[in-house]
Structure 1
Amino acid sequence: MLQHLIRQDENLRMVPIDRAELTTALNGLREELATGPDPDRVRVLTRWIGIAQMSLGDYDEAHAFLRWSLELAITSGNVRAIVATELNFGDAHRYAGDIETAETFYRSAMDTARGQCPELLDFALQHFGKHLMERGDLTGARTHLQEALRLRITKGNTELVESTQAALDRVDALVGNAVVAPDEWSREWTTWLQAHTTVSDPTRWHDDLTAVRGAVQSLAVHQRVQPRHLWDQPFPTELVAAMAAEAEQVLAADGYRHNGKRNAAVGDAANRFAARVDLAAIVARSTGLDVEQPHTGVYIGYTEGQFLDFHMDDAGFGEANLIICLARTRRAGTAKASTTVFISAAGYLECDLDTGCGVVFDGALTPHGRTRLGVGESVTLISLGFRARDRERRVLANLPPVPA
């Protein structure tokens, strides 16, 4: 419908051939949608409006229309439409930096295609291969793209074959140039950090502090944000309480294990909080980094005995991370509570977050974790990711190598 107005850029992402022309065509689809066509036409229109908005960089609008289209596809039982729209939804989240949600949609589309819609399996493999390439998993990317290529050669569609070959060429170029994608670099740094220190046993924190401090000094020069405890921000208590209640519910019902604690997607309470509080302004004032409103968020729950070892976040989460404590319990008389811990060039920094307080930092370039929770202790947090308005600040280049 709008294919002729969209191309792939050097990173194999969809962008307009002519922004004004795509915007005009998009407005035409919106006008048709307003006439109230039949549900099947609504599904098609909302999907292409979502694709166009994604290509134009308006990810919130893209998410809204793709969600609408996917709901209609599910209601009608149109398996082809479900797979195709899940792939578009995955792209929209990937482009916006929400890596985990993107992967959920890609895997769902691949599973459905393998079982019920094999004619779209090559598309699912292609999209997931690009996702893995951006995450730095070049081996996994090549495996999926090669499977897609075999299927497309069998189809005999030259245009599709060329598209997959271009993606494979991109993977080969990354491997040949020894380019380490930011997310792979983060994982390698995490592995090194956890081999030299651990949050779980504070007596080990200083075992090899000289080596750790020297390594972290090489990271500090690249950090966009320095850790800062936001204890003085008057977040509305009723909004914090509403998020705490929502987090408790979704962590229990839909939470998933991740790095030793439970995570869950944020919901309406978090969206209301972000709509009422100018979080971008708070982060900008606190850090000096001009950021957009949060593009992603996750609830995190810790219970007795759990901890989060030192690690670095995937770059896609954002240039600034804001963690806010929503609720916490601890046994009276406990000598020391669990804290958020950072490693800086000066050593270890602990941040004890009370309910309604936060800490902002650059999770992709600042090693961080949480100390072990004591008997009867629990902590519920929300973690929000912010993108810099200056797109050049989003690019991680000349990253310091992982220590040998």
Structure 2
Amino acid sequence: MIFQEISRLIAYDERQRMVPADRARLTALVDSARAQDPADYTTLRALGVGLLVLGEYGDAIHHLGRALDLAETSGMRIAASINLADAHRYSGDAATSEAICREMLALAREEVPEMVYFPLQHLGKTLIDLDRRQEAREVLQEALALRAAEGDPELITRSREALRLLDT
């Protein structure tokens, strides 16, 4: 439930990065979760994402790392790791973000094929940050194709918006 609450307070900027839709409410929710000193995967991941969106990258990396330690499935590992990759990317460490995305892409291809679009999308955005535009385009086109096959309009829109970043 906390992940959904935090997700509702997230918007995207012109670079397709997560930003607070309501900073005050997001800060209050994150502070409340942090005060409870969570020890479960879901809350730690949600808290990490909230901290990431608020720009508290060090704390985000810490909490996402703790969530990752508690991941019980490959899908959980992929989700927390991609959030961790974003924390590194947003903080300016695109090389670490790329390494994490590539590792999770390999894991998804091997064990959770229905999640391949997730590390692809984030790898593509990382490659944009690294100014490797052609490689980013190829990766994001693959993510879009997989998302289109799934039929989720919001995910399709996110992939199209990421591809539009390459046209600027």
Partner of 1:71 in structure 2? 69
1:12 equivalenced with 2:16 (yes/no): yes
Structure 1 position 4, deviation (Å): 0.7
Partner of 2:54 in structure 1? 56
Equivalent residues of 1:130, 1:141 under 8 A apart: yes
Partner of 2:131 in structure 1? 136
Partner of 2:44 in structure 1? 46
Matches within 5 A, 1:326-345: none
Q: Deviations over 1:183-242 (max 9, x none)?
A: xxxxxxxxxxxxxxxxxxxxxxxxxxxxxxxxxxxxxxxxxxxxxxxxxxxxxxxxxxxx
Matches within 5 A, 1:5-404: 5-31=9-35, 33-34=36-37, 42-73=40-71, 76=72, 78-173=73-168
Larger Rg: 1
Number of corresponding residues: 164
Equivalent residues of 1:86, 1:108 under 8 A apart: no
Structure 1 position 90, deviation (Å): 0.6
One-letter amino acid of the structure 1 residue matched with residue 101 of structure 2: Y
Equivalent residues of 2:124, 2:136 under 8 A apart: yes
One-letter amino acid of the structure 1 residue matched with residue 7 of structure 2: Q
Q: Deviations over 1:69-125 (max 9, x none)?
A: 00111xx3x111100111011110011111221111111110101100111111111
Q: Deviations over 1:24-62 (max 9, x none)?
A: 11123224x43x6xx6xx101111111111111111100
Quote the Cα distance in structure 2 between the aligned partners of 1:100 and 1:137. 12
| Aligned-residue CA RMSD (Å) | 1.2
Equivalent residues of 2:98, 2:127 under 8 A apart: no
Q: Deviations over 1:278-331 (max 9, x none)?
A: xxxxxxxxxxxxxxxxxxxxxxxxxxxxxxxxxxxxxxxxxxxxxxxxxxxxxx
Indicate the structure with greater helix content: 2
Structure 1 position 11, deviation (Å): 1.1
Q: Secondary structure at the match of 2:19?
A: strand
Structure 1 position 130, deviation (Å): 0.4
Question: TM-score when scaled to structure 2?
Answer: 0.93
Which ranges of structure 1 fall in alignment gaps of 5 or more residues? 174-404
Q: Secondary structure at the match of 1:130?
A: helix
Quote the Cα distance in structure 2 between the aligned partners of 1:156 and 1:135. 29
Quote the Cα distance in structure 1 between the aligned partners of 2:95 and 2:159. 23
Equivalent residues of 1:109, 1:124 under 8 A apart: yes
One-letter amino acid of the structure 2 residue matched with residue 21 of structure 1: R
Equivalent residues of 1:130, 1:167 under 8 A apart: yes
One-letter amino acid of the structure 1 residue matched with residue 139 of structure 2: H
Quote the Cα distance in structure 2 between the aligned partners of 1:104 and 1:170. 22
Question: TM-score when scaled to structure 1?
Answer: 0.40
One-letter amino acid of the structure 2 residue matched with residue 70 of structure 1: L
Equivalent residues of 2:94, 2:129 under 8 A apart: no
Indicate the structure with greater strand content: 1
Q: Secondary structure at the match of 2:125?
A: helix
Task: Give the % identical residues.
Answer: 38
